[in-house]
Amino acid sequence: MSDETEIDTDDLERRMKGAMEALRHEFASLRTGRASASMVEPIMVDAYGSPTPINQIGTVNVPEPRMVTINVWDKALVGKAEKAIRESGLGINPQLNGTIIMLPIPELNEERRRELTRVAAQYAEHARVAIRNVRRDGMDQVKKAKNSGMSEDDQKFWEGAVQELTDKMIAGVDQALEAKQAEIMQV
């Protein structure tokens, strides 16, 4: 192998890991019947004229397995935070206790669990597509290098390296999906 025909597999791996990280973040936002501080991360509150993440206007805690509390630092933002939670689509009814917003997590029924497993499968499929797109970019790099004079043996080596990386990442997505679905279906 010559040095000038090397494909940047580190960049491809970094991009594929980015897709995995996005999947983990999406999985964390799925409500599984268990309380998690990451459930409220995507919620934005209109604070002081600009959208602000809810974890930047108060302290988010999980005092028990079925409860998330948000201790809002500014009393003026309690109502706005409560409104943002109601409109977030989490399906949780916030309860106020002074500057503390309590979010009791209801038990999931069987139908909702099945629906959440389908949503998790969609998230996993989006991650697989993103990984395959990175794979396609890698294969395009190999083809360009071949047109620039890369030997056929080198081409086969780099195509194999890109495919091996893709297979490893897709297996990771499948593993994460299985774990998330098991967590969702756990009663």
Mean pLDDT of 139-163: 91
- Measured distance CA(61)–CA(107) in Å, rounded: 19
Report d(CA 107, CA 177) in Å as an integer.
Answer: 21
Confidence (pLDDT) at 15? 93
The share of the chain scoring above pLDDT 70, in percent, equals 95
Task: Detail the DSSP E strand segments found in the chain.
Answer: 44-47, 50-53, 58-64, 67-72, 95-97, 100-104
**What's the pLDDT at 87?**
84
Q: What is the pLDDT of residues 2-18, one digit of tens each?
A: 444 578 888 999 999 99
The amino acid that residue 95 corresponds to is Q
Give the pLDDT of residue 1.
41
d(CA 137, CA 142): 9
- Predicted pLDDT of residue 169: 94
